[in-house]
Amino acid sequence: MDEATEFRSEEGWRRVSLIVNGRSYKVWTLPSKTLRDVLREEIGLTSPKDMCNGEGACGSCTVIVEGRPVLSCLTLAVDCDGKRIETAEGITAQNHPIFESYVRHHTMQCGYCTPGFLVTSKALLDRNPNPSEEQIREALGGNICRCATYPEHIRAVKEASEMLRGKDRGG
C-alpha cells in the first residue's frame, strides 16, 4: 500500500468502482458521501441536480442504478460499488428516443428538472415500453417542475414509447 492509500484508509476513505454511462471509474470517497456528490465532484457529471438540499423531494438528482431509478442525493456512493449507473449525459449521448421526444415537446424550459425527468422516463420505458398515461404520471410523480411543463413531459414519454415500439414518429 502506498502512503496516499494508507492515509486515505486511516481517515475512513474508501475506494469505489463505478461504471457510469459505460465507463469505469475508481474514486476515493468518504462513506458518508452521496452518489450525487461523487458524480458531480469526482467524475464531473453535472446532470444530477440539488433542488431540494438533499431531502429526496424533487427528483432532480435521479440516476439509474442497475436498471432502477434512484435519488442520488439519498444514495451513498459506497453502496454503488461495482454497479452500473446511467445519467442524463449517457442518455443524451445515445440519442435515445426519449431525449429526441423531450426536445420536440419543448419540455426543457429552464432545464433544471430536465435531467431527472429524462432519467426517470427512460427507466420507465426500459421496464415498460408501452406505459399507460396513468403509469407515466405515477412514474414521474416524484419529479418537480417549477415551470409546470408536466403535460409536455407526459406527451414526450408517450411519443418515445411509440418510437421505441416502431410506430410513426408523429409530432
pTM, rounded to two decimals = 0.89
H or E segment to which residue 2 belongs: none
pLDDT in tens, the chain (171 residues): 555 555 566 679 999 999 999 999 999 999 999 999 999 999 999 999 999 999 999 999 999 999 999 999 999 999 999 999 999 999 999 889 999 999 999 988 888 899 999 999 999 999 999 999 999 999 999 999 998 889 999 999 999 999 999 864 444
- DSSP lists the bridge partners of residue 76 as 34
Domains of the chain and any CATH numbers: 3-86 (3.10.20.30), 90-164 (1.10.150.120)
Rounded CA gap, 140 and 153, in Å? 9
